[in-house]
Structure 1
């Protein structure tokens, strides 16, 4: 006998509670992926019996989650800025905190047809979120990893956006001579010995997208330094960083002669994004 929708969630939540602090939600997301149904289905059809094939797939999903594999890797999808994005192990899994960067980028006073660069684009989450809101912006997303560029292009094609393109580039290496009104980045910023690297979903994500030298500041400093050659006069640079790095990031922006430096908080009220203008 297979589970009903309701009993499947209850059983899975009990199974997963030792390995995740969001056991019920994880169970719901995994079951909905198996059923290929919207969230409302869980409440509309709680007594619906799973087929044998659905039961088998759901049990397999739960075992993978029990082993620590991220839900996004199991389902192959993660929603960001209300966009369904394909994800895989070649990139970071988009996180809600990064929507803070998108929100503040959209609030800037930029030209109607702004030229925008997303450094370390990964799944393309930031670039695609901006493209969805600003169809007149011309957006380029770059990533050093070819698999990430391929994934970002897949997401672009699935969503049908025409004002964004993705290029393989080691930071600025393939955008020489271009000028941007806005540069955004969620670069690696975690220290190499951070204990969180051995916990949760990050265990399944590429270290190269997470860790940076110089107490997590190496890539941030490189971007701030080099971006001066690629920003238009009064162009903006927005960088996501760790919640304890805001003072260092703010100071380095000032050291590099940027103006109007501002740090903004994420949904959890932690310092998360610092932005500044290049006076040219």
Structure 2
């Protein structure tokens, strides 16, 4: 008996949102049908090859594997990104970092802002900024060669060829790989690993399949902030701005770390769910460089 979209969705035990995402991916891959065909062509018979791949993806998703990894892509802000198990899956809450950065740059009046994305992963933050700020000079850094390869592929797919990529552990490789004039930034933005070692969330949901290097510092969840805040000043312009995402319960601690390193105009920002999600600050004008 011929099997169609309607029957698959009725029979599947997966969450309906997940099932529809997987099936929309397959009908595009095998039949070149648009997403709208999920409704307009839902009674048409589907080919054997598609049904076989559906059975595999359904099983993998039932075992917990992330939908984004199974279909190889994830939407973020207003771009679509290639993702794979070597990179963190972009989250909607991280879009707040992009929004705040765009707002800051537009209000600053800078025509060619210099932006550094630390721990870029798939390139989500840096590439979203480059897409929405065409005159920005964006540099994306990650310690993982695998992540950088995926980020560079995303830049190519998005035709964002001016974005620079560098393999580096935070700031370690900047001065040795870039000209001095390219090592000072108007904005430094980062979504670093912030889940504490042993946190039960690491054993839940998609996090079980994502790279631990992008999730946890294997310590108290604050090690990356200590390093970034301490090392950032020489790389920030005199009026430089820094923004970081943090965990749902880390706002006070992260703001305190900024204060300890003499940053000014420290602010906490809530995401759409009302969770304190981002901390921002300016470099103190009196800081000594070098």
Q: What CA distance in whole angstroms lies between the structure 2 residues aligned with 1:101 and 1:118? A: 11
How far residue 88 of structure 1 moved from its aligned partner, in angstroms, is 0.7
Is 2:251–2:277's contact at 8 Å kept on the other side of the alignment?
Answer: yes
Compute the RMSD of aligned alpha carbons.
1.1
How far residue 213 of structure 1 moved from its aligned partner, in angstroms, is 4.5
2:236 counterpart (231, 236, 242): 231
2:256 counterpart (226, 251, 266): 251
Q: What CA distance in whole angstroms lies between the structure 1 residues aligned with 2:76 and 2:19? A: 20
How far residue 38 of structure 1 moved from its aligned partner, in angstroms, is 3.1
Taking a change above 3 Å as real, the CA distance of residues 138 and 243 of structure 1, as seen in their structure-2 partners, is same
Q: What CA distance in whole angstroms lies between the structure 1 residues aligned with 2:36 and 2:143? A: 40
TM-score, normalization by structure 2: 0.91
Which residue does the alignment assign to 2:172? 173
1:34 matches 2:26: yes
Q: What CA distance in whole angstroms lies between the structure 2 residues aligned with 1:2 and 1:81? A: 38
User: Structure 2: where are the runs of 5+ without partners?
Assistant: 286-290
Q: What CA distance in whole angstroms lies between the structure 2 residues aligned with 1:112 and 1:6? A: 51
Is 1:10–1:24's contact at 8 Å kept on the other side of the alignment?
Answer: no
TM-score, normalization by structure 1: 0.94
Q: Relative to structure 2, which stretch is displaced further, 169-178 or 227-236?
A: 169-178
Which residue does the alignment assign to 1:275? 280
Q: How many residue pairs align between the two structures?
A: 272
Aligned to 1:190, the other structure's residue is in SS state coil
Q: Superposition pairs for residues 1-280 of structure 1, below 5 Å?
A: 1-12=1-12, 15-16=13-14, 23-36=15-28, 37-108=33-104, 109-110=107-108, 111-176=110-175, 177=180, 178-280=183-285
How far residue 182 of structure 1 moved from its aligned partner, in angstroms, is 0.2
Q: Relative to structure 2, which stretch is displaced further, 2-11 or 241-250?
A: 2-11
Q: What CA distance in whole angstroms lies between the structure 2 residues aligned with 1:39 and 1:83? A: 17
Q: What CA distance in whole angstroms lies between the structure 2 residues aligned with 1:82 and 1:93? A: 15
How far residue 252 of structure 1 moved from its aligned partner, in angstroms, is 1.1
Q: What CA distance in whole angstroms lies between the structure 1 residues aligned with 2:265 and 2:219? A: 25
Q: What CA distance in whole angstroms lies between the structure 2 residues aligned with 1:98 and 1:224? A: 19
Aligned to 2:96, the other structure's residue is in SS state helix
How far residue 217 of structure 1 moved from its aligned partner, in angstroms, is 0.3
Q: What CA distance in whole angstroms lies between the structure 1 residues aligned with 2:24 and 2:77? A: 20
Q: What CA distance in whole angstroms lies between the structure 1 residues aligned with 2:128 and 2:36? A: 25
Is 2:225–2:257's contact at 8 Å kept on the other side of the alignment?
Answer: no
User: Structure 1: where are the runs of 5+ without partners?
Assistant: 17-22
Deviations 1:106-161 (A, max 9, x none): 00034210111000000000000000000100000000000111110000001101
Segments of 4+ in structure 1 off by > 6 A? none
Is 2:112–2:136's contact at 8 Å kept on the other side of the alignment?
Answer: yes
